[in-house]
Copies of this chain bind each other. A is one copy, B any other.
Amino acid sequence: MNKSKRILTAIVGIGLMGMATLAVAADKMMVDPAKILSETNVYGLYNTFKVQPSYYQISMADRSKAAAEVEAVVKKHSDSVFVQAYLTRGFKSESDFLLRMHAYEPAAAQAFLTDFSATSLGRNSKATLALIGVTKGLNHTTKEKSPNLLNALKSTSYSADAPKYAFVIPIDKSPEWWNKTEKEKLAMMEDHTIPTLPYLVNVKRKLYHSTGLDDTDFITYFETSDLVAFNNLNIALHSVSEMLYNTRYGDPIVMGTIMSVTDVVEAISK
């Protein structure tokens, strides 16, 4: 039996066991904002919008009702989607605002977005970017593989003031990266993680997996009030060998000011 055949036999044997059970009843789970941001198997959707000139041909009186209209749609879907908003105007020419959604089913976020697009703001906004990813457990920095690093990651938590800004940075890995052994990838991810530890206190972060779901391998999300620290963190991430295998880092990087949905809609409705 040659190598391919042996692997084949082994994998088919293992593989056919109940892999289709992960999403069971996902569409019936109620969304709790306090929990969904820390769970795995959660879908994160990031959508940026550019307000079209037609929006400002609506009377100011009507535009002033837009926030309530959008809030009503958010509320209608709050059992199945947790929605957050950011003002990107001036930071990015391609968009004016960003919606971040978390759901147990992408279709739930899609249903929210379909209703949002029927609001007066949605009707007059153009979607300019859509990203989707799923949360999973840590891949490399696990208890078994890298216990010290995991401890360091867990023992430090964000302690700065409430973050003012958020950043969305899609990351793509080269085929060469994906063809590395698990050991090689672990070593590089340790090198990648170590210089980021000092920033745990002032930069929050969250990771989504997107390979095959979208045209990116990962979506990384950050919140901070300390933009110089954030710049230094990114320089640190550029200065490790793992960076040599990133074929995309941003492009776009989306920067937004963290605001309530109401505040974002009011800011762009002026």
Contacts and interface: CB of A to CB of B under 8 A. Distances in A.
- Copies of the protein in its oligomer: 5
Contacts of A5: 148
A82 interface: no
B212 A167 contact: yes
B197 A11 contact: yes
Q: Which of A14, A54, A106 has the most CB of B within 10 A?
A: A106
A230 B115 CA distance: 27
Contacts of A117: 89
Nearest to A45: B90
A31 interface: no
A241 B187 CA distance: 21
A91 to B, nearest CB: 6
A93 interface: yes
B89 A175 contact: no
A66 interface: no
Given A53-B124, A106-B165, A20 B246 contact: no
A5 B152 CA distance: 10
A167 to B, nearest CB: 7
A213 interface: yes
Interface string A103-124: 0001101101111011000011
Interface string A199-223: 1011000000111111101000000
A102 B133 CA distance: 30
Interface of A: 4-5, 7-8, 11-12, 14-16, 19-20, 22-23, 41, 43, 45, 47-48, 52-54, 56, 87, 89-93, 106-107, 109-110, 112-115, 117-118, 123-124, 127-130, 132, 134, 136, 148-149, 152, 156, 159-161, 164-165, 167, 169, 173, 175-176, 178-179, 187, 190-191, 194-195, 197-199, 201-202, 209-215, 217, 225-231, 233-235, 237-241, 243-244, 246, 250-253, 255, 257, 267-268, 270
